[in-house]
Amino acid sequence: MQLQNVFIHHVYFFLKDKGNTAHQAELIEGLHKLSAAPTIKDFHIGIPADTNRDVIERGYAASWCVLFANAEDQASYQVEPIHLKFVDECKHLWERVIVYDSVDA
């Protein structure tokens, strides 16, 4: 199945205290709350899979893959109070965040 006409926002969170499972759980709980943002079509919260190849990045604590109907919905999400609250409540947990945004080719 190929997804079409979506804006994909994929975020990788790297914890300040790498390997701290309590902090990872707190971050994941925050992401579940964030999933209530109204412009989100669908989402996936993940942790690194147990795969080991040279090209695989496993240093992140959680990933947040969100599908929006379009770029406008994603832009609206960025200033959505639920999103701003998530950042405010969870930013102390991460040292680095990497974002990959993509649209249909």
Token look-up 């199945």 returns: 1
pLDDT in tens, 55-99: 999 999 999 999 999 999 999 999 999 999 999 999 999 999 999
Q: pLDDT at residue 3 above 90?
A: no
Is residue 51 over pLDDT 80?
Answer: yes
What burial letters (b/e) apply to 2-24, b meaning 16+ CB within 10 Å? eeeebbbbbbbbbbeeeeeeebb
Query: Cα–chain-centroid distance for residue 99?
Result: 8
Position 34 scores a pLDDT of 98
Looking only at the bridges linking them, the beta strands covering 7-15 and 40-46 are unpaired
Q: Where are the alpha helices (DSSP H) in 52-98?
A: 71-78, 81-90
pLDDT tens, residue by residue, 17-47: 999 999 999 999 999 999 999 999 999 999 9
| Distance (Å, whole) CA 19 – CA 61 | 8
- Rounded Cα distance between 66 and 86, Å, is 15
pLDDT at 4 over 90: no
Instruction: Kindly indicate the confidence band of residue 1, based on its pLDDT and cuts at 50, 70 and 90.
Output: low
